Structure 1
């Protein structure tokens, strides 16, 4: 690069850094921009076009009735869970037993739509703070910011509910407890799907910790120029997502594989598939750490959220990330011993959850799968 080119790049970097700092300094998030009447997306939020097409694929995400898991149809439910976890990595569950989903969404909306001065005391980028509000956890690391604000609540292990903002103080502990109980049931099904004892994943501490991430996607004046959430996979064992009725979530799926079709030129074809909200359902997806311990059998699939195209209504979602007790766990997680053999060697190296999250948070949503860093054979 020429000296002039290097100087221009440095000037561009410095200008972007100043714009990011100015935005962060407001402590008002993206909603603050919308409330100020902004009519164009600022440069720090601009995303390049994605190379993969949007595909209409009916019933791409299976729906599983958990009521059937309690009786003589359990083996059938285990097979459904196995098929979903090994392919699309996502499935919707009904008859899940988690109470107060509408109340939880209402509480999250109340928090985000409260006056900016009421939210500022919770605004921080310190990952050690159990309850924090900010816009874009990776604001200073990612290539482009997302049109989204977030309230993060660590609800398990439990602490004093008074730490929570008043708007969510009643709804969040009840919802978190319900989600954690659901996650235990789903992990039992996943353990059986791997041919392991029912309680194996639970005994590994895969749901000792629960972090609830409450996302708020304000209306965007130019939704085709930015994203609600960039392409990523989840840094968890399991994620339980509560959507409102607006949609916008998409999953990146392999549509066909023509590697052996020389006439067509070969190659894989990927596309973004909508995950439509299903009233009364919760969405479950495999996280990176479950892909790691399953030695790649279960798939942590990349997904994204489009920017909100509504003119006047924000989209709200609540994602519960099931993990080890991040504050105390020192356990090394690697491929489960029974899933490894001479013919099926380990794919990933062992890692603590703290190390994995440190890598994930440090790189931000930069389009690179976090799991690739932990492959034993980096050529894959």
Structure 2
């Protein structure tokens, strides 16, 4: 059997957002998944039996701290994912970012392509193709490292339109503070010295991925986001609009994540799982493509 031809990092693929605008008789082959690769669609029964648990940041810090820490410990061990409410990130910061992200994806393609992934790189706008038979997600992405500042690519954040850049800078700062606070609380819940967490993550890398999932005429044939666990300490996810599709695997069943208004979804990453906190669970997540678009 002939091995797939290597294409190299940064090889281009047709923009999914533009592809979705055109009448389609069939989904292009690179996006079609085999039956083995498709997560099962959650049933109404599983939807009603299990929902993604919620952690209240106010209760963690100011309220019934011990009880909420026990809950946090349990969720990190058994679920690896939870929704975070009353997180302290200003609603104006979040709402402005939502508007700016939607504005970015409404830009003409030639404008967005100013920030495309460059040959041999992984940061930027677009899809990375490693070989010609690779299956790809039904999504468009803009990925970039945001901290430490010296690792930022000159053609990305520094070159964004001023309103988007300012919104991102505010959000990046707020999320960095929230992440460190949350990691400290996870350490406390697991009875680990907070100093160890600070040494591990305080000067660590922070990255952002802005993803748009265009509507798909045959959503059952594609994946918006391939099933995976995150190679991070924690991932903090913000849903820009209310369209569903994000799901988590628990006990072999895919459960929809119905995100609460103003909540973040926090996913425990592989880095916490493989370090000395071996009792943690790194959640397997995916995003199903839908007939309506989402961010």
Q: 2:111 is matched with which residue? A: 118
Task: Pick one of 152, 160, 166 that aligns with 1:165.
Answer: 160
Which has the larger displacement, 195-204 or 110-119? Answer: 195-204
Distance 1:301 1:249, change over 3 A: same
Q: CA RMSD in A?
A: 2.6
For 1:16-95, list aligned pairs within 5 A: 24=12, 29-49=15-35, 50=38, 52=40, 54=42, 55-71=46-62, 73-95=64-86
How many residues matched? Answer: 280
For 1:142-161, list aligned pairs within 5 A: 143-158=134-149
Deviations 1:61-116 (A, max 9, x none): 11111111223522222111111100110011111011322221221121122101
Task: Pick one of 264, 269, 272 that aligns with 1:287.
Answer: 269
**Structure 2 stretches of 5 or more lacking a match?**
none
Task: Pick one of 230, 233, 242 that aligns with 1:234.
Answer: 230
The answer to whether the aligner puts 1:202 opposite 2:202 as a matched pair is no
If asked which structure has higher relative contact order (CA below 8 Å, sep 6+), I would say 2
The answer to whether the aligner puts 1:224 opposite 2:220 as a matched pair is yes
How far apart are residue 162 of structure 1 and its match?
5.7
How far apart are residue 42 of structure 1 and its match?
0.4
CA separation in 1, counterparts of 2:56 and 2:68? 8
How far apart are residue 153 of structure 1 and its match?
2.6
Distance 1:113 1:39, change over 3 A: farther
Q: TM-score, normalised by structure 2?
A: 0.85
Q: 2:126 is matched with which residue? A: 134
3-state secondary structure, aligned to 2:194: coil
Q: 1:351 is matched with which residue? A: none
How far apart are residue 128 of structure 1 and its match?
5.0
Q: 1:250 is matched with which residue? A: 247
The answer to whether the aligner puts 1:188 opposite 2:184 as a matched pair is yes
Distance 1:57 1:302, change over 3 A: farther
The answer to whether the aligner puts 1:296 opposite 2:278 as a matched pair is yes
Judge conservation of contact 1:153–1:164 (CA < 8 Å) in 2. Answer: no
Distance 1:45 1:72, change over 3 A: closer
Judge conservation of contact 1:236–1:288 (CA < 8 Å) in 2. Answer: yes
CA separation in 2, counterparts of 1:53 and 1:120? 34
CA separation in 2, counterparts of 1:150 and 1:283? 19
Judge conservation of contact 2:50–2:255 (CA < 8 Å) in 1. Answer: no
Judge conservation of contact 1:184–1:207 (CA < 8 Å) in 2. Answer: no
CA separation in 2, counterparts of 1:82 and 1:107? 35
Deviations 1:231-251 (A, max 9, x none): 100010100000121110010
Deviations 1:312-353 (A, max 9, x none): xx311xxxxxxxxxxxxxxxxxxxxxxxxxxxxxxxxxxxxx
Judge conservation of contact 1:66–1:93 (CA < 8 Å) in 2. Answer: yes
Q: TM-score, normalised by structure 1?
A: 0.67
